[in-house]
Every structure is written in C-alpha cells, then in structure tokens.
C-alpha cells in the first residue's frame, strides 16, 4: 500500500475502465453556479476524469450514479470543510444543488458511499499524485543547509485510528493488554517541497513487515539524505542506506557503545549551536557478532535541556529520561557539525506535518472501515496537501487552511483569500527571533 511521487501519468486508469458505460464526469463548467474556489481545482479535475468509469465493469445496465472521480471530490470536500466530518455528513452534502452541479452527480446514498471502497481501486490515484508531483516546486531551503547536496528526506511513522470493527486491526493490543484498531502511516517527507513524496500503510503493530525500519529498507532510493529518530538506529539499515548511494542523519540511543577513532575540531559556529563534540567513531561491540557499520561513521553530540520522558503507559514503559545530550550519527563526513545538528532539528517538521495531516485535514479518524477506503482517504489527503502547495506556494499551516475553509464556504471573498496568500511568509524570522529571546533569558532548547 504505497505511492511514489513518480512521473507516471493517468493512462493506467484508462486501462481499467470499460468504454460502454455512458455517464457524466466531473466538470468544472457544469450547469449552475460553481462552488466558490473551484478554479483552484481545475488542474485536478482533468486528472480525475480518466477515473470516472473505473469500477463500472459489473454495471452492465449503466445504473451507477456515484463514480470514482465524484467520490474522490467528495473526500476532498470533506478534507477542506471541517463541518463535513463523517460519511453521513458527506452524504448530506451530496444533496446540495451546488455540489450536484459541480460533481455532475445526483443525491448519493449512504450505502453507495459505504460500498465505494470495495468498488474503486485506490492504486488508480497514484497516477494523479504523480502528475501533481511533477509541478511541485521547492519552497526554499534553509541557506544553512546549502552544503547538503542530497534530497533531504524526513522519515517517520504515525498511527491512524481506525473504526473498532476493522477486522485487520482488531487483534492488536497495547503493552497494557488493551485492544485497539489502528493503521500505521509511514511517510517520506521532502523538506524542500514540504509534502510527502511517499506513503506506506501497514497495520498499527510496529514489528515484522510493518516495522518502520523494514518499511524504509524496502523503499530506499539513491541521492537522498534520510533524517531519522532513534527507532531507526540499526546498523544494518545504516549499511543498506549507504549501499544505495544515499546518506543518513540519525539519533542513536544514549547507551550506544562506540570507540572514538578521531576527534574533530569544533568551529565557533558549532559551539554556538551547542555541539559538544564531533568524532569519527567505531559503533557497536566487536564481540557481539552482529552486523556493524561497514563505512566511516561520524558522531556529533549536542547539548540540550534534560527532560523526563512522560508516558501514559502503565509501568512507565516509555524510552526513559534524557540526559540532555543528543547523539547524532551520520555517514556524511564533509558538512560542518552545526549543519548535522540543524538537519536533525529539521526532523521535527515531519511531526508538524503529521499534526497538520491528522488534526487540520481531518484525518485523525478514518471514515471507512475498509482497507481500500483507508487508502483512498489517505491518498486524497496527500492530494489536498499537494494542491495547497501548488496554489499557495508556501508551507501549509493552520491560518492558511482556515482561510481556505472560509473561502471555499463563501465566508471569505476571493480578494481576501488572495491577500492572505500574498502576505510575506515570516514564520522563519519569527521562530528565530523567539529562539534568540529564549537564549537571552538563559533557556536553551
């Protein structure tokens, strides 16, 4: 269950649809006044049109009234409108004349919406995602990362809560023995474009084939710099990344064993970034018999504020408290130590994306109990992220998404929407100014 931001078009979708069914595809110029803001979806609608007849193979009488492109647009409507939070509310929205005019469909029943994931193939959306990915442009790299020539890719996973009747997840249990239903979304996040370029869906149990390390290992690509948290700290994975011609920046555990081979001098910039040491090391124990790094490894130690690990699990089964020192390893021996520290600091951007994805785009709860329906919702959410990137040319945030809500619902005018998009994006300046203020007050984060 994965997609790549590849160059594949939507021709594959056409191969899956019959030519005998006659129906009206999604049309931006449909009768009646179009929904406000529809012009921003004009690029998307032609990409969805080849999906219109997908899933109609068994509909010999041409009785189907809900088609794949219309279903996807309804999912996007749900993502861009906080008032449409459930499948039943999507069904109610289909009764509105404007929605029917734009989508070219009649009132949709709750049964048709529930059946849709079993009829439509989620993989047909891969071509749409690939076409949109062609037009994505970098939103601007931090100039302090100019020395990093590879594609900076942040890697992590997050849980998506599923409905309790989801059979594939019902057997999962927490460490306390309670059962839950969930899927895990594994994302590769392009820092420059601020969008996910690959997503995998597995069951929520982070082990075996669904282990985040194993999922990453199966999707490695050359010329990337993978920035990862300490769950990914596995010597075999480091070797696999290095072997494909990519690099890594990864936090390791506080009790990791290493032998110092070379002590590298620290510049004033590195000291200002709270770097304590920069060393070339030999990781792991020789007598352990386990696979160890087969390439030079660099260890950068960074001073941070110590904190107590908080866990809501019984018995405090979390990772334990931090000693206030981050231990970051990388196979890049050329960039300055402060750049390594900055790269790991940027890893938090994928956490912000997960928050945006689940809280702001409404993907905290899944609207389908069918695995195919979960795929469709996740893929549509990624399409929504790409659309925001294409038409705002900035990193999506709560303010921009809220303005999009107001604009698409008719509360904000087109001029107010354009004024918001044309405002200078000073979020980086404000963040740096706030950080400097905390430092002056004696706090280092």
Residue by residue, pLDDT tens for the chain (445 residues) are 444 444 444 444 444 444 334 444 544 444 334 445 555 566 677 888 888 888 777 777 677 778 888 888 888 877 777 677 788 888 888 888 877 777 777 788 888 888 888 888 888 888 888 788 777 777 677 788 888 888 888 888 877 654 433 334 433 444 445 444 567 788 888 888 887 877 877 777 777 888 888 889 988 999 999 999 988 988 899 999 999 999 999 999 888 888 899 999 999 999 999 999 999 998 887 766 678 888 999 999 998 877 665 555 554 445 556 778 899 999 999 999 999 999 999 888 888 778 777 766 656 567 777 778 888 888 888 888 887 777 777 676 677 777 777 776 677 787 887 788 777 766 555 566 766 776 667 665 5
Neighbours of 444 (CB within 10 A): 11
Distance CA 418, CA 18 (A): 41
**173 domain-assigned:** no
Distance CA 110, CA 118 (A): 14
For the segment 10-68, what is each residue's pLDDT rounded down to a tens digit?
Answer: 444 444 444 334 444 544 444 334 445 555 566 677 888 888 888 777 777 677 778 88
Of 152, 297, 308, 146, whose CA–CA distance to 227 is shortest?
152
- Look up the domain containing 36 and give its range: 2-133
**63 domain-assigned:** yes
Final residue before a domain boundary, out of 277, 309, 336? 336
- Report the domain count for the chain: 2
**304 domain-assigned:** yes
Of 382, 362, 376, whose CA–CA distance to 69 is shortest?
376
**216 domain-assigned:** no
**197 domain-assigned:** no
**315 domain-assigned:** yes
**139 domain-assigned:** no
Final residue before a domain boundary, out of 90, 112, 133? 133
Distance CA 290, CA 236 (A): 9
Final residue before a domain boundary, out of 133, 162, 187? 133
Please classify residue 287 by burial: count the beta carbons closer than 10 Å to its beta carbon, then call 0-12 exposed, 13-18 middle and 19+ buried: exposed
- Kindly report the pTM of this predicted structure: 0.71
**69 domain-assigned:** yes
Q: What DSSP assignment string belongs to 420-436?
A: HHHS---HHHHHHHHHH
For residue 280 the two structure tokens come to 């070339």
Task: Check the CA dihedral 414-50-384-71 and report its sign.
Answer: positive
Rg (CA), the chain: 24
């Amino acid at each position: 269950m994965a997609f790549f931001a590849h160059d594949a078009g939507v021709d594959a979708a056409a191969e899956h649809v019959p030519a005998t069914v006659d129906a009206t595809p999604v049309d931006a110029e449909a009768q009646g006044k179009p929904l406000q803001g529809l012009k921003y979806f004009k690029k998307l609608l032609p990409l969805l049109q080849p999906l219109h007849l997908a899933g109609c193979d068994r509909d010999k009488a041409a009785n189907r009234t809900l088609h794949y492109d219309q279903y996807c647009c309804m999912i996007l409507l749900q993502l861009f409108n906080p008032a449409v939070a459930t499948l039943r509310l999507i069904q109610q929205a289909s009764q509105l004349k404007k929605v029917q005019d734009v989508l070219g469909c009649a009132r949709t029943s709750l049964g048709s919406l529930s059946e849709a994931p079993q009829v439509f193939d989620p993989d047909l959306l891969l071509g749409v995602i690939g076409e949109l990915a062609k037009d994505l442009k970098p939103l601007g790299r931090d100039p302090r990362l100019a020395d990093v020539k590879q594609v900076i890719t942040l890697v992590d996973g997050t849980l998506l809560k599923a409905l309790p009747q989801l059979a594939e997840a019902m057997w999962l249990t927490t460490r306390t023995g309670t059962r839950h239903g969930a899927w895990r979304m594994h994302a590769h996040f392009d820092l420059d474009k601020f969008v996910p370029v690959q997503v995998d869906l597995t069951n929520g149990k982070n082990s075996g084939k669904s282990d985040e390390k194993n999922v990453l290992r199966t999707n490695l690509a050359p010329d990337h710099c993978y920035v990862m948290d300490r769950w990914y700290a596995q010597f075999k994975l480091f070797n696999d990344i290095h072997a494909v011609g990519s690099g890594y920046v990864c936090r390791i555990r506080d009790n990791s064993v290493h032998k110092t081979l070379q002590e590298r001098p620290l510049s004033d910039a590195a000291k200002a970034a709270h770097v304590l040491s920069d060393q070339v090391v030999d990781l792991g124990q020789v007598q352990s018999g386990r696979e160890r790094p087969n390439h030079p490894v660099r260890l950068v130690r960074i001073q941070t504020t110590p904190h107590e690990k908080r866990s809501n699990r019984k018995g405090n089964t979390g990772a334990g408290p931090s000693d206030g020192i981050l231990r970051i390893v990388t196979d890049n021996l050329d960039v300055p130590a402060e750049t390594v520290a900055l790269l790991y600091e940027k890893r938090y951007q994928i956490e912000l994306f997960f928050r945006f994805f689940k809280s702001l785009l409404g993907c905290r709860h899944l609207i389908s109990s069918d695995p195919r329906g979960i795929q469709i919702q996740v893929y549509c959410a990624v399409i929504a992220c790409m659309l925001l990137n294409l038409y705002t040319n900035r990193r999506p945030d709560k303010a921009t998404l809220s303005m999009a809500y107001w604009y698409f619902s008719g509360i904000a005018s087109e001029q107010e929407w354009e004024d918001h998009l044309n405002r200078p994006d000073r979020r980086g300046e404000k963040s740096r100014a706030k950080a400097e203020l905390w430092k002056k007050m004696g706090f280092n984060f």
